[in-house]
Amino acid sequence: MNYEKPLRAALHLLCLLPFLWIVWQVWLMFSYQPHALTANPFQYINQYTGDWTIRILLASLAVTPLRKLLKKNGLIKWRRPLGLYAFFYGLLHLGNYLVLDHFFDWAVIWQDLVKRPAMTFGMIALFLMIPLAVTSTKKMIRRLGRIWPRLHRLVYLIGILAVVHNIMMVKADLREPLIHAAILCLLLGYRLYDKYRPGLVKRLSFT
């Protein structure tokens, strides 16, 4: 039995569930029913979409280590949709900030970017995701050739900027941002270990 289509459908459903949940909560709010958006719904939605951007981004970064550790090359096909969903939630995060939080008040937004490094890091991370999303199609992969994997290494920098943005934006409970940071360090650390392991083994064999 071919499980690829059901697994792909399950992946899309899991990635869309946070979006569907927040849409439901907004509907409850406008229907004057009990909801989870707290007294400041704009701030809640902003944090919620930002958290899911990072979670799905980290999930996309986890694909390659899992593929190598489990020796399941087929897992690599899940990296692209996860990356696109991370970009989707990043756009929702930005849209909430620009439209609902500041109502396109560009003077205030510019002051935020200039005076608050956390906002600068977050904005840079999101804009760096644009070329990765645009070049994620099979056609662009073929067209870019060897340039494509080099370009998509930007995801490491994006992950670092996003996690730093997350930590700096949280004012009280840092547990979740620090968990994100620990997971990112683990994933990037594995990549460094995997890259330099052959040389390290070779050196140790001569000692």
Per-residue model confidence as pLDDT tens digits over 104-134: 788 888 888 888 899 999 999 999 999 999 9
12 located within any domain: no
With a cut of 60, say whether residue 202 has pLDDT above it.
no
pTM to 2 decimal places: 0.89
**How many independent structural domains does the chain possess?**
1
131 located within any domain: yes
Q: In whole angstroms, what is the distance from residue 184 CA to residue 122 CA?
A: 16
Domain that holds residue 108: 37-205
24 located within any domain: no
Per-residue model confidence as pLDDT tens digits over 128-152: 999 999 998 888 888 888 888 888 8
What distance, in Å, lies between the first and last C-alpha atoms of the chain? 51
4 located within any domain: no
124 located within any domain: yes
7 located within any domain: no
Average pLDDT value for residue range 153-176: 91
29 located within any domain: no
22 located within any domain: no
Q: In whole angstroms, what is the distance from residue 147 CA to residue 78 CA?
A: 21
